[in-house]
């Protein structure tokens, strides 16, 4: 007689396979987001290089989305708490492909940097809202499996976009009879990245944002008390977080965090320099 699958394992597998509609919609968008990230990471820099820009400008261009995300992460999070996570995520699904496609249509340095910066600003909403929505839409038993599946779709399946990023310019070059490294062929690669985000974002219109209940509010208050108790014994940085918690827009806290990490980086560089000098002296 064959051994049956343990009940606990069978329950875990069934809970992951039978996912709520919200989770399926979010995972679908995550798949498109993964394709977009890998596609644009490959084709955008080649596109800018095909316009005749040097590596120093391409480096600044590549950094603009990250700078936009750094500046907008906290305001977008506050906006999502005020307006709701679904509207902010929908706005990101519409504006991200719009600014990404705009990067493939403009050629001037200022417009390229501006579109890349805005693309980073609007795409931050995905990182701010996706995981909270997945958390609210899953049970405790489903959560780990869903998060693992989300990472797999974003980084694993999404990495196939790198293959498409090389294939699309080759395909367009054969159709248009131009070089695969030409601006026109690479432009279609950027358009494909924008199209993935837009198409896979359309099902988000059917997303139903979970309503906050009194039980959730009570859990939040209990969690807040536990966190505050832990924060009091966690050093000056955590104390800064605790003192700024009542601000409507924690700008002062944001500035303190930037200075903290800047000082930490300076100390680390100084420590590495001292170690290097010590090693040279020993030698």
Token duo for residue 158: 């999404």
pLDDT band at 156 (very low <50, low <70, confident <90, very high): confident
Mean pLDDT, rounded, for 79-91? 92
Token duo for residue 245: 């918690």
For residue 227, the model assigns a pLDDT of 46
pLDDT higher than threshold 60 for residue 4: no
Token duo for residue 232: 């009091």
Encode pLDDT of 34-70 as tens digits.
Answer: 999 989 888 999 999 999 999 999 999 999 999 999 9
| Ranges in the chain annotated CATH 1.20.1250.20 | 17-206
Q: What percent of the chain has pLDDT over 90?
A: 45
Mean pLDDT, rounded, for 164-170? 86
pLDDT higher than threshold 60 for residue 136: yes
Mean pLDDT, rounded, for 163-189? 88
Cα separation, 115 vs 88, in Å, equals: 19
3-state secondary structure 244-282: CCCCCCCHHHHHHHHHHHHHHHHHHHHHHHHHHHHHHHH
pLDDT higher than threshold 70 for residue 247: no
Tell me which CATH homologous superfamily contains domain 17-206.
MFS general substrate transporter like domains (1.20.1250.20)
Does the predicted TM-score (pTM) go above 0.85? Answer: no
Cα separation, 34 vs 239, in Å, equals: 37
Q: Where are the alpha helices (DSSP H) in 107-182?
A: 109-136, 140-151, 160-176
The answer to whether 154 touches 34, Cβ cutoff 8 Å, is yes
Cα separation, 85 vs 35, in Å, equals: 22
Sign for the CA dihedral angle at 175, 181, 186, 189 comes to: positive
pLDDT higher than threshold 90 for residue 105: yes
């Amino acid at each position: 007689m064959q051994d049956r699958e343990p009940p606990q394992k069978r329950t875990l597998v069934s809970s992951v396979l039978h996912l709520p509609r919200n989770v399926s919609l979010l995972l679908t968008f995550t798949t498109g987001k993964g394709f977009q990230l890998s596609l644009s990471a490959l084709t955008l820099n080649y596109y800018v290089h095909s316009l005749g820009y040097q590596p120093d400008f391409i480096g600044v261009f590549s950094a603009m989305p990250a700078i936009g995300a750094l500046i907008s992460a906290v305001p977008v999070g506050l906006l999502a708490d005020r307006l709701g996570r679904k509207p902010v995520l929908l706005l990101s699904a519409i504006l991200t492909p719009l600014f990404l496609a705009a990067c493939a249509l403009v050629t001037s340095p200022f417009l390229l940097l501006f579109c890349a910066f805005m693309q980073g600003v609007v795409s931050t909403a995905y990182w701010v809202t996706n995981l909270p929505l997945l958390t609210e839409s899953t049970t405790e038993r489903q959560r780990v499996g869903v998060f693992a599946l989300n990472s797999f779709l974003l980084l694993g399946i999404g990495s196939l976009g790198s293959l498409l990023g090389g294939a699309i310019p080759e395909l367009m070059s054969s159709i248009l009879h131009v070089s695969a490294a030409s601006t026109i062929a690479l432009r279609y690669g950027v358009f494909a990245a924008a199209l993935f985000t837009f198409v896979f974002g359309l099902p988000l219109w059917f997303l139903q944002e979970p309503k906050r209940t009194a039980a959730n509010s009570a859990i939040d208050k209990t969690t807040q008390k536990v966190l505050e108790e832990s924060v009091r014994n966690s050093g000056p940085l955590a104390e800064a977080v605790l003192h700024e918690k009542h601000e409507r827009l924690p700008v002062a806290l944001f500035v303190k965090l930037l200075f903290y990490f800047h000082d930490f980086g300076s100390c680390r560089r100084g420590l590495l320099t001292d170690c290097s000098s010590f090693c040279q002296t020993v030698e």
